Amino acid sequence: MSRVFGGYAATGLVLFFIGDVAAHARARVLHNLAFPALYLGLAAVSTVHMVQLATRT
C-alpha cells in the first residue's frame, strides 16, 4: 500500500515541475530554466521507478 502512495507522490512531483517549467517558459525567464527541467527529469525517473515497484508483487 505504501508503494502506491509513493507512486502518487512521484506523479505529483512530475506535475509540479511541469507547471514550474511552463511558468518559467511563459514568463520568458529562460536563463534559469535548466534547474527546474533537471528536477523534472529526476522526478520523472523516480515516477517510473515507483510505478515499477508498485506493480511488482
pTM, two decimals, is 0.81
- The 10s digit of each residue's pLDDT in 39-56 is 999 999 988 988 888 887
**Residue 21 pLDDT level (bands cut at 50, 70, 90):** very high
What is the Cα–Cα distance from 50 to 34, expressed in whole angstroms? 24
What is the Cα–Cα distance from 53 to 55, expressed in whole angstroms? 6
Percent of the chain with pLDDT over 90: 49
Please say whether the beta carbons of 37 and 18 come within 8 A: no
In single-letter form, the type of residue at position 43 comes to: A
